[in-house]
């Protein structure tokens, strides 16, 4: 009774995998035929030009076709490039042209493979389980495979933001030095993006992109707002608001930047104190589970052995 639903479920998963494999293979063969026709036409018009592709390029082309076929199953509807998903890629530092294709292909592959592999391993181990339990674990593994790339993206974004938040007060100090040395705000942003590279390459790249936007003709306020939108840090939002207001009302940049830098250093110290205050609570469980039993064994063990020997004699 328990083996029949399991066998049917495994056969269904194998059938789905075969269908997707056939579809991907058909798409790959169609792309290869189109490339051969195009190459033959080019060779007929330009016989002296070598248009052949190396084996590595052909392999990459085939892999791109498979990734495209997989990514179509989980990619959102049209217009996602300007949506929150595209902004999440940018905030995570993923700006490659094919990152969305790879991301959705990995999400689809994990959603299909994790339940199949888990159920096959459970069936191969000989464990008996009801059909409802197998279906439950299949759904759990499919959901885990679907949301696993989202978790990685969130973790990468959080680490990147934390790294930039710790270096931001030093960057403001460099801005103060540059502006007081006679540089304009545009030149100061470009200079700081070069100097801060040793401390934080990520923050240097973001400010360098803002400097490029300004040089390309975008307004300073718009470039700074785009910078804050890409980074998504509360401290950087406050810095951008202060710079925009100083540019609009003509207030002193040096004094405003000093106040902003001092506030960010106070926040950084408070974050360090908060982390230090959490250490005793985090050490409590390892102390109870590992250190206290060892201390009790060392302190009371000899007495217990002597008492046992005394009563044994």
What pLDDT is stored for residue 19 in this prediction?
A: 67
Contact status, residue 192 vs residue 171, Cβ threshold 8 Å:
yes
pLDDT of residue 73: 44
CA distances, 193 to each of 1, 221, 236 (Å): 67, 17, 15
Alpha-carbon span 226 to 188, nearest angstrom? 18
User: For helices 234-249 and 253-286, what crossing angle results, to 10°?
Assistant: 170
List, in sequence order, the alpha helices (H) in the chain: 3-45, 55-71, 84-91, 99-124, 131-180, 185-195, 201-215, 220-231, 234-249, 253-286, 292-312
pLDDT, one tens digit for every residue, the chain (313 residues): 455 555 666 666 666 766 666 676 667 667 677 777 776 665 555 444 343 444 443 444 445 555 555 444 444 544 444 567 788 888 888 887 778 778 878 888 888 888 888 777 777 766 666 667 777 877 888 888 888 888 888 999 998 888 888 888 888 888 888 888 888 888 888 899 888 888 888 888 889 999 998 888 888 888 888 888 888 888 888 888 888 888 787 777 777 888 888 888 888 888 889 989 988 888 888 888 888 888 888 888 888 888 888 886 5
* C-alpha dist (Å) from residue 31 to 18, 57, 58, 96, 267: 20, 14, 11, 23, 56
Task: Measure the CA–CA gap between 26 and 38, rounded to whole angstroms.
Answer: 18
pLDDT at res. 57: 38
pLDDT of residue 199: 84
3-state secondary structure of 47: coil
Q: Please state the pTM of the whole predicted model.
A: 0.62
CA distance 188 to 176: 9
- pLDDT of the residue at 58: 44
Contact assessment for residue 157 and residue 92, using Cβ atoms and an 8 Å cutoff? yes
Backbone phi, psi, residue 279, to 5°? -60, -45
Instruction: Determine contact, residues 161/231, Cβ cutoff 8 Å.
Output: yes
- Give the helix/strand (H/E) hosting 16: helix 3-45
């Amino acid at each position: 009774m328990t083996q029949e639903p399991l066998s049917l479920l495994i056969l269904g998963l194998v059938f789905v995998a075969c269908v997707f494999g056939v579809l991907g293979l058909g798409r790959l063969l169609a792309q290869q035929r189109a490339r051969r026709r195009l190459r033959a036409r080019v060779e007929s018009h330009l016989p002296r030009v070598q248009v052949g592709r190396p084996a590595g390029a052909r392999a990459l082309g085939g892999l791109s076709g498979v990734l495209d076929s997989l990514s179509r199953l989980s990619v959102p509807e049209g217009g996602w490039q300007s949506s929150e998903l595209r902004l999440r890629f940018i905030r995570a530092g993923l700006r490659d042209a094919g990152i969305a294709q790879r991301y959705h292909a990995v999400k689809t592959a994990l959603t299909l493979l994790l339940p199949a592999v888990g159920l096959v391993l459970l069936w191969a181990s000989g464990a008996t389980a009801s059909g409802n339990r197998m279906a439950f674990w299949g759904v759990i593994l499919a959901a885990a495979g679907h949301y696993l790339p989202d978790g990685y993206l969130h973790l990468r974004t959080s680490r990147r933001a934390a790294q930039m938040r710790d270096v931001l007060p030093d960057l403001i100090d460099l801005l103060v030095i540059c502006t007081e040395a006679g540089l304009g705000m545009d030149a100061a942003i470009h200079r700081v993006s070069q100097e801060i590279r040793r401390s934080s390459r990520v923050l240097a790249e973001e400010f360098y992109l803002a400097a490029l936007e300004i040089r390309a003709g975008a307004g300073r306020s718009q470039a700074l707002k785009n910078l804050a939108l890409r980074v998504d840090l509360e401290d950087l939002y406050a810095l951008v608001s202060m710079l925009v207001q100083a540019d609009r009302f003509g207030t002193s940049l040096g004094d405003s930047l000093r106040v902003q830098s001092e506030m960010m250093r106070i926040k950084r110290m408070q974050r360090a104190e908060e982390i230090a205050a959490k250490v005793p609570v985090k050490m409590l469980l390892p102390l109870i589970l590992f250190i206290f039993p060892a201390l009790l064994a060392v302190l009371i063990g000899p007495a217990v052995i002597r008492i046992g020997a005394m009563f044994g004699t």
